[in-house]
Structure formats: C-alpha cells, structure tokens
Structure 1
C-alpha cells in the first residue's frame, strides 16, 4: 500500500492527498507533434531544457523524447492523414480541379506544389495541398507532366481531373498536352490560365509608360521612411496640413503592380504633407514630384482602381470565383477600350499597351470559365450576349463568339453529364415500348416523337427566367437547393464552380514553405518539408493560422 499510494495521490503537498492524474504518453507525444506541425517549431523544440522543465512541472510522470522521436511522430501523423485524405478523395463524387506551380527554395531546390479543389457532397468548397515535392531538372513540360501523372496515380484521382490552373510559362503548354489521357472532352477545357498572372502582365506593361513619375513617388516614400527624424517631420506635416486619412505610408514591391497601386494611392492622400516636407527640407529632398506629376498620379489611380478591385476579388480563396470570371474580364476589356482614344495621351498609350496584352491572352475568353456565368441563375446566357454587344465588335464577331460558348456548354453537358439523364430515361421508358410479334418496330413513331420533344436539363434551365441580378446570391446554395430538379446539370455546375481562376493556393504553399525551409533550417530533408507543410494544411489550413 505504501508503494502504491504515491502512484495514485500527491502526498508531498500540504492538506488532504490529491488524486494524481494518469498521463497518456501516446496522447502526450501526439500533442507535441501537433504543436510542431501547427506552429512550425523545430524538432529540437522537444529537447529544449525549458520545454522539458515545463512539461515535468505539469506532470512529473512525463517521459522526455528526442528530436528523432518527434520527427518520427510527425511523419506518422502525415502518413495517417494522407491515408484518410486519399479515402475521402476516392469517395468524392465530383470532379477535382488542380492548381500547380514551381518554387525555388533557399537551397536552390525547385519544389512542385499540387493543390486539389473540389466541392463535396455537402456543397462546401474544399482545398487540399496534395504534394510539395522536390523536382530535379530538366524543368520542361514533358518531365513535369510525368511528375504530375505520378502524383495523381499515387492519390488515385487520375480519372477525376477536370481542369488545371497554371500560369503563362511556355512549358505549361506542353505540360497540359501530356496529361490528355483521362481528361474531359479530350482536354478541350482542361487548361485554365491564372487570371492574376494575366492581369499582372497587362498592368505591368502599361506602368512602364509612367515609370518616371512612379520612381519619383517611390523615392519620396523611401526618403520619408529613411530615418526617424524624417518620419517625425512628416508626421508633423500631416498634422499641420490636416491630411490624416488613416492610410499608411506604403512602400511598394517593384514586381507587384498592386503594391505599386497602394503606394501611389497612399502617397496621393498625403500629397500636401509631401509638399510641406519639400518646403521645409529644400534641397535635401530632391525627388519631390511636380504638380503635373501629382495630377498624373491622380489620373492613373482612377484608371487602375477597377483593375486593383478585380485582382482583390479574384484572390478570394474560400468561395467559388469561376462565376465571377466572365463579367470581370469583360469589365477589364471595356475599361481598356473606353480609354484607347482618351484625350490624355499617356492614358491612351497605357490603354493601347494593355489592349495588346489583353488580345494575346484573353481575346478568346476562357470557354470553361465562361460557362460558369451561364450557370449563375441571375445572368445565364443573356448576360453573355449583352456584354459582347457592349464591346466594340461587329455583329458577325459577336454572333460567332456567342455560338462558340453556346456550342461548348452543350458539348460538355451532352458528352459527360446529359448522357446520364438519357440513359436513365431510356431505361425507364423501355418497359412502355410495345413490341408486337408481327412488327418489331411497332410503336417506334410515338417513341421518337416523344424523344424529340424532350428537352435537356440544360435547355430547361436556360429557358427559365433569370433571378434579380441586383440581389446577393450564394450560387452553391442555389444549386444545392435545385439539385433534385436538375440532377445532372447540378453535377456540371458543381464541377465548374470549383475551378480556381488563379494559382493563389500554390502561392500560399510557397509562402509557408519559405518559413519551413528557412535559413535556419536549410538542411531539412525535402520529405520532412512536404510532411510538415501538407499535414498543416490538412489539419489546420495554411491560410487559417499565421
């Protein structure tokens, strides 16, 4: 009894004996592994003296573990969660859309990120990072396609792929062609260009027209942020000129045009404060923009604001965005065309440069993404016709573009979705067909007339009146509520609405990958990098935790 008491009660503390809590060593190790995955702690975290002191204080029965044990526990969780996710993907009834991109790490190794996007049976949009693998050279389309096929076979989803969203790199043209084995409609709708990247190319080229003015604003921001004394003086100028607007003095990243837009926007808000600072500092502040240059910045801000708003809208990652594609690309095209003949030569030159880039990448709107706006019950096909007629194109060109989209959506529905309804209807009607012994084709006339009069679910949907476009609508909720009316068409809507229009998911993987494989952990094996990154995404979501 004396030997047994200390195991069950804390008897060293004053007062009545307290019952000692039993420590589950397995659960304790799993919680440690979760903390490493969730907060990106090094494996050596479990060997830190203070960490062990804390754990022993909380429960003296704890058994310390080594970094090797912690690593093994993390890999064990990765394998378990991968098996669970693989089983879920096997049961997914919808098609799976992919985003992929390459990333160069601090060690100069190139990683390939593969992310799956799909809408589950509860009509919730899901995103899962499937792979984050080191890829050895050569980095051409053929070898990248082989890696992709290997990944898809490992997950067992090679026959479920719907679309692949990639950037404009040349190797992606070859890359997609090599994947045409199990793709819908022989891969006609597979390739989706990253809209964010195309927008970036369109605007970056136009900004070169005013790079002198932008450089002056950039140098002004650098000047203000260059020392604490200048920051203090600038704050005083803001107070004196009553220019306080809540915006921060924003320094841009030269390669990201949207950050340049924010820099120009915030600089314009404090224009009078910059003027006051130039008067106070005189020759010490040589990069001060002139009055004409400030007016130019104001004009450019108004011109670029729609582009910035659309980029921000496309970057949403928790809600389907494919139904937003057509209308917003149309807005961009209309905005460019409206400014081509602007009396301001600078704006006109910028618009013409944008038009060349737009025609290169978006002259033919992405067909599969154009289907998404048709499957929005507020717009359907009428909005496509309306938008094309608003652009500067002939009636013949407009009609050709409309026919392409109309034939394309019917081709996709008839080949892969409508066939299910025809099979079901033919099997149920077959019992009603009269087959007389005197004439094997007796009843054929009535059967064919019934079949010709039957409309597809797509046709019935398009003939229904549109909903009010001014009202907010959860498109997924609409199709969830109407899947009984349109069982096959709702399947097509579910697949199309899950298409990501930008490669944002891959970029977020790279952002976290840079924190996992930092300069302090550059020798971390690539298999551990993948395990840490993927498991965190599966358990906690890469965007959900900072």
Structure 2
C-alpha cells in the first residue's frame, strides 16, 4: 500500500486509533519551500521570497546606473520626470521613490567627479609620456568649444584615448588665451610635466599658442628636448588641404557632379525617376549616390567614386528630365574618372591617418613619402589636367611637409622591418645626393631624444617587459618600394651601421646609469 502512494511523498499516512478500517492523509512540509527565503519587513510582518530574486533595490546602485544611462544615451535630465518613465518604474517596484531632474543632474555630476578622479590617478601612474590633440569646434549657435584629448600607452601596453575636456571658449579667442586655458586644464589633471607632443591643425592662432606654451615657466622647461618635438601638425588635416587645392583645378567638374547628386536627392519624385533610370541599365551596382561635404575632400572622393558607378543613369536622366541641366559632359566624366584613380591612394592614406584605435606613428613616414612620390610622378604626366593638379598639390606639400615631422619619422627607424636603411632609400629616390645628409640629421635628432629620455628615466622597466601585439592595420608598402632590396644589397656596411647605432644607444644608457649610481 505504501509503495503505491509514492507520488504522495509530501504527505504522511496517519493510522486512526479509533477505527482500524479508516486511514487518512495529513499534509507535511513540502520540499518546494526550500527554494524560498523567509524575511520580516520593517513592520514585523513575515513573508517569503523565491531565492535568487532581487526584491530590494539598492538605491546607490540604481542611481549610478540611471546616471550612466543618461550619459550613454544623451537623455535629458527631465526624462526622469516623464509619466511613461514613472509608470515603468512603478511597475517594477510599487514602492519606488521618484527623483526630480535636479536630483538626476546632481547624481550625474557625482559620477563624473568620481570617474575623473579615477582617470586622474591612472594618468599619474603611467610610466610613459602623454601626447595631446586639441581642436576648436563650432556649434549651431556659433559657440566655440575646445576639446582636449590625451593619448598614451598604459602599463599593459594598451593604446588609450581619453577626452579630458570639452569646454566653451568665449571670445576673444587668440593664441595667448588658448595657451592659458590649456595650461589650466593640464594642471587640473596633474599632467603638465608629462606631456610629449600636441597635434594641431594649421590655424594661425596655434602658432601663437605653441610659442606661449614653450615660454610658460611651469610648462616649457618640462618638455623633452626643449620642446623641439612638441608640435605635430595633423597629417589628415594637411592632406586635406593638399588635395583640396588640387581639386580646385577641376572645380567645374566637381561642381556639376555635386549639383547632380543634390538634384537627384532633392525630392522623392526625383529619386524614383533616378531609380527607373538605373533599372534601364544592363548592370547593377550596390553603390549609392551620396552628397559630399565640400570641406572634407575624402567625402568628395567618395561622391566621385559613387557617381561614376551611376554615370549612365545620370546621362539617361538628362535625356528624360528637362529640369536636370547640370549633368557633366562626356569629357567631364572622363576627367572625373582620371581624378578618382589619381586620388585613390590619397583616400586610403587619409583613412589610415584618421584611425584612433591603433597606433599611426609607424604609418606616417611611409605614407607621406608615398604621397610625395605620387605627386612627383604625376608632374610628368601627359595629361594636362593631372599635371596641373600635381603642380598645385606640390606647392602645398612643400609648404607643410617638405621637412617630414621628425618625431613621427623615428617610428620607421625603430621598425625592425625598415630601420634607417629605409629612410636612406626613400631620401635617395627623392633627393639624390642629399639623401645621406638628410638621413644623418634624422639620426642625430634620434640621439637627442634618446638622451632626453635617459635623463628623465624613472628606471621602472618592469612595466615594459611584455607587450601584446597591437592592432595596427597593415600598410601596403611593396607597391612603392620596388628596388628597396636592391638598395639594401648595395649597402655593404648597412648591418654594421645598425649595430653601431644600437651599441651607441646602449653605451649612452650604460653611461647614464653609471652616472646615476655615482650620484647615489
């Protein structure tokens, strides 16, 4: 009988003493209750909750998560007062206590200050120097904002990028005022003695700002090598100026294509008519016509490339739409095609320079050299348009890049694939007999900066012991360095030269260490 009652294991069989013929079941404690926790609330009322289910919301954790949600998604502070938001929270917790927009603002401010102190402490501990980038931004209301970003390699050899400030700069705005603002920001973060370089555009006020920074008594003396390597011109910005000058040669062609794209995208009816023209073509393309931003040449290149894919559709549209009168002529389309081929490597280099999640210093020298070689080659082009563009672009190149940024060129020397031999090879193709003297100048400056690092060395080599491989994209160099192997084979003493360079640097390090030991 008891075997048959196995399914009633939570019940106990009770034998009635007054009746031998009658048996009944009495409920005992179910095993289900082991999945519950008992509790007693503030009023003394008892209850039970399922284990693992959070029934109490920690106010501090909730407020921090709310602050991060506001920041991450750019919510307004008033969103916490929205009726739908309140209904959602009331559904999750009937005892919820709503907060006001002012409270939300206060919570976000506290989280910001805490995160700022955390970052400030991290910047104090990093063993390396810090590189800065700064620029001015204009809002729709014409207010100017200065953004200051720090770039550094942390103790784990991970490239970091942190925005330190995005603050309004009221007029008047000149180099002296911007220099004072920058100094105050660096002191606020406690990194005024750890700066190596700052990357800026070519605005005239930046020249004054750099001069004032170098002369500042609490900042200038802390710059490595007397600030000789302090300023770095933005490579992507200069490349934009170079190509923009070249595009002025074919301004009419670019204007017609730009107006054609603008016309097609002007209304839904025109878009449908253009789609019908595309259906008439014997081929299809996944490219879509896109409007460019005239101040950014890479967007202009993208517009040209996409428009060339739809060349036949534009020609067809000009035949069926009497209001479309900016279609480029056949000759202008041919010019645009040549220009697109000419500018393609410039576009890829701009993309490389614009990267922010991988190191770009090692890409600089070779990229700028490729640009220079390309321009010099097209100066001898049989096409008059290309030749005229190359001539204008060379003038702008010589203005800003005739002397490559020295500090960024060091990266190619330290790259074991190229070293100083590659610099000499590049200089020989560009400058002929002056190649050796130019390479020597670069090498001498490498000694200078190496000595500067020795003087300010903290001796903390343990953090530099290991480093992971970085995610730098491959830069296709073999297209432009044909003859490099032949060049290196002619350098009989190239290996000895590299070994002497390493020995000299090591001897400098040893002598500096000995001097430090003597001082102790």
Q: TM-score, normalised by structure 1?
A: 0.74
After TM superposition, list the pairs within 5 Å mapping 1:251-400 onto structure 2. Answer: 251-281=291-321, 283-391=322-430, 393-395=431-433, 397-400=434-437
Name structure 1 gaps, 5 residues minimum: 11-15, 425-457, 465-484, 490-546
Residues 243 and 273 in structure 1, CA contact (< 8 A), matched pair in contact too: no
Q: Which of 207, 214, 229 lines up with 1:173 in the alignment?
A: 207
* 326-335 vs 29-38, which moves further: 29-38
* 180-189 vs 104-113, which moves further: 104-113
Structure 1 residues 83 and 386 mapped into 2: Cα distance closer, same or farther (>3 Å)? same
Q: Secondary structure at the match of 2:213?
A: coil
1:516 paired residue number: none
When the two chains are superposed, the root-mean-square deviation of aligned CA atoms in Å is: 2.8
Structure 1 residues 7 and 407 mapped into 2: Cα distance closer, same or farther (>3 Å)? farther
Residues 451 and 508 in structure 2, CA contact (< 8 A), matched pair in contact too: no
Structure 1 residues 7 and 109 mapped into 2: Cα distance closer, same or farther (>3 Å)? farther
* Separation of aligned partners in 2, 1:223 and 1:238: 16
Q: Secondary structure at the match of 1:394?
A: helix
* 22-31 vs 101-110, which moves further: 101-110
Q: Which of 212, 219, 222 lines up with 2:259 in the alignment?
A: 219
Q: Deviation of residue 289 (structure 1)?
A: 1.3
* Separation of aligned partners in 2, 1:18 and 1:307: 58
* Separation of aligned partners in 1, 2:281 and 2:53: 69
* Separation of aligned partners in 2, 1:326 and 1:18: 58
1:412 paired residue number: 449
* 403-412 vs 235-244, which moves further: 235-244
After TM superposition, list the pairs within 5 Å mapping 1:11-30 onto structure 2. Answer: 21-30=55-64
After TM superposition, list the pairs within 5 Å mapping 1:51-90 onto structure 2. Answer: 51-90=85-124
Bigger Rg, structure 1 or 2 = 2
1:93 paired residue number: 127
Query: What is the CA deviation profile of residues 406-450 of structure 1, one whole-angstrom value per residue up to 9, with x for unaligned ones?
Result: 11111111232378599x9xxxxxxxxxxxxxxxxxxxxxxxxxx
Q: Deviation of residue 488 (structure 1)?
A: 7.3
1:228 paired residue number: 268
Structure 1 residues 271 and 249 mapped into 2: Cα distance closer, same or farther (>3 Å)? same
Residues 380 and 462 in structure 1, CA contact (< 8 A), matched pair in contact too: no
Q: Deviation of residue 228 (structure 1)?
A: 2.2
Q: Deviation of residue 92 (structure 1)?
A: 0.7
The aligned length equals 428
1:153 paired residue number: 187
Name structure 2 gaps, 5 residues minimum: 1-39, 215-219, 462-496, 511-520
Q: Deviation of residue 233 (structure 1)?
A: 2.5
2:8 paired residue number: none
Quick check: 1:189 aligned with 2:229?
yes
Structure 1 residues 175 and 419 mapped into 2: Cα distance closer, same or farther (>3 Å)? closer
* Separation of aligned partners in 2, 1:113 and 1:85: 17
